[in-house]
Amino acid sequence: MASLLKEGELERAHPVDQMRFLDLKLTLAGDILVKVDRASMAVSLEVRPVFLHERMLELSMRIPAARLAGPASSKRALKEAVSDWLPASLLGREKMGFAMPLGPWLRERSDLGVGPDSDLFAAWIDPLAARALYRRHLAGREDCTSQIHSLYFLAHWAQVWQPSG
């Protein structure tokens, strides 16, 4: 990394400028954009990284590092630029990601094919405890998404890899 910073003559630059440069050189093209491209193509979704448009990049490089991020906030200039159009509750919320709604899906579906009632993994898991866990989840008394998800994949693994006998 130090050689990249010397190559870009950024060794004495603001840390935010160093991070911008390293992101562009190390992670963007060979990692982040590749993952976004593959994931979007897998579901026939068109993705356009508008912030990578040449004019947007030129503009962003003129923004002083201190205006971009600070110890208590990130994306400060972007949030200020769109604050007239987006509510403060959206601009100030924590990062969320794109988690699948597994809990509701598991409550809606009882036809998973394998799961707490599968005999294939009964040697490892108590079927009564698995069914009780599933019932608590279905009733909405407890969120057992993680445990049921793990049981489902264990049962699926057992189904695929069970020794033929």
Domain extent listing, the chain: 2-91, 102-161
Ranges of H-type helices in 63-101: 65-68, 76-82, 88-91
Tokens 């988690």 belong to which residue?
99
pTM of the model: 0.48
pLDDT at position 2 is 63
Environment class of 20 (CB within 10 Å of its CB; exposed 0-12, middle 13-18, buried 19+): buried
The tens digit of pLDDT for each residue in 72-92 reads: 777 888 888 899 999 999 988
| Distance from C-alpha of 57 to C-alpha of 76, rounded to nearest angstrom | 16
